[in-house]
Structure 1
Amino acid sequence: MPTGVERTLPPGDIIVTKTDPKGRITYANATFLAMAALDEAQAIGAPHSIIRHPDMPRCVFAHLWREIEAGREVFAYVNNLAADGAHYWVFAHVTPSRDAAGRLVGYHSNRRGASAAARAVIEPLYAELLAIERAHASRREGLAASQGALADRLAALGKSYEEIVLSLVRL
């Protein structure tokens, strides 16, 4: 359960994880373990969703999975939930990992701290999308509605999710 305590990733620190194709953690650096309040035995083999914060809109993760399963890298702002209930915001870069023959073997993710300026833009958007998801009786309908709302917002701006997210890195 979230405690409301925020943990901040120190400037210059990078969280690194690797997963198998199903999203189970196969590698976690010490920074990830510290931020997530997990030890290596708890992390390795666990689904990466072990750190999913309940206040993250599901449509953002649906977008992320759609992109990486299509073989594309993706950038996203994510609020994570540590095992001790603290949360921490990151700017994530996720890429597919392939073996020498080009077969998908998993995913690699690097995360840095999210700036306050970027969060000031992202947090209200995510709150809106989450409210849309929660307003529906079924999770499926809520996800579809939030995906539609995000698509409408992006169309109105004439930008992709990645363009919006990457524009915030400079804030």
Structure 2
Amino acid sequence: MTHPAAGTASKEIRLAPHELIITKTDPTGHITYANRVFMRIAGYAEHELLGKPHNLIRHPDMPRGAYRLMWKTLQQGQEFFAVVKNHSKNGDYYWVLANVTPDYDLRGQLQGYYSVRRPPSQEAINAIEPVYAQMRQIEASHNKATAPDASVAWLQQVLADKGVSYQDFILSLNAQVLQAPGVAA
């Protein structure tokens, strides 16, 4: 699938405040479940999603380092939060506050990943866009193999200098969203 290049104009799709996008994947990141909200927002039918890699909706404005950090966190058995820009099938885009958690069976064996996404605050989007732009710039100055790690190292250093973890940073950007009535964090 081909998406427009980073920075290409497209229309923003906004989730309603009460809407949740829910997906499940297998351990390799292939979609095993997608709710109707996801299908509507992303513009895909169920048969177009099931078995496909979740990065099908990856927007080119997203730095690869953000996903490197996600996988590293998940592989440590921890949940991951991020503000993410995704692509719909028709080239439009949408922002989400994503929460991804490992899904284990009763024996403790990894079955895959469960993700719940809700609309982020506009303040969170405004705060994260320059961070992602800097990460993409760092990635552009490195070879493909080292680029994601280089941008993650930069991000972690910036956050360490501020005395905050990545998760605390993301959650602080979205405190209003997570504290809204009827929203369970």
Q: Above 0.5 in TM-score?
A: yes
Name 1:94's counterpart in structure 2.
100
Q: Deviations over 1:69-122 (max 9, x none)?
A: 111111111000111101100000000001111110000000001111111111
Q: Which of 122, 133, 137 is the aligned partner of 2:128?
A: 122
CA distance in 1, matches of 2:67, 2:81: 11
Q: CA deviation at 1:144?
A: 2.7
| Matched AA of 1:25 | I
- Pairwise CA RMSD: 1.0
Moved over 3 A (4+): none
Q: Does 1:56 align with 2:62?
A: yes
Distance 2:54 2:115 in 1: 11
- Equivalent residue, structure 2, for 1:15: 21
Asked if the contact 2:101–2:113 (Cα under 8 Å) also holds between the matched residues in 1, the reply is yes
Identity of paired residues, percent?
44
Q: Distance in 1 between matches of 2:169 and 2:107?
A: 34
Q: Deviations over 1:43-88 (max 9, x none)?
A: 0000000000111011111111111111111111100011110110
Look up the match of 2:146: 141
Of 43, 46, 57, 2:52 maps to 46
Tell me which residue corresponds to 2:167: 162
Q: Which of the numbers 79, 86, 106 marks the counterpart of 2:85? A: 79
Question: How does the TM-score come out when normalised to structure 1?
Answer: 0.96
Paired AA for residue 88 in structure 1: Y
Look up the SS of the partner of 1:139 in the other structure: coil
1:152 is the counterpart of 2:157:
yes
Give structure 1 stretches of 5+ with no counterpart.
Answer: none
Aligned residue in 2 for 1:65: 71
SS of the equivalent of 1:27 reads strand
Structure 1 position 143, deviation (Å):
1.8
Letter in 1 for 2:167: E
Render the CA deviation track for 1:11-67: whole Å, top value 9, x for unaligned.
Answer: 100000000000000000000001111000000000000000111011111111111
AA at the equivalent of 1:53: H
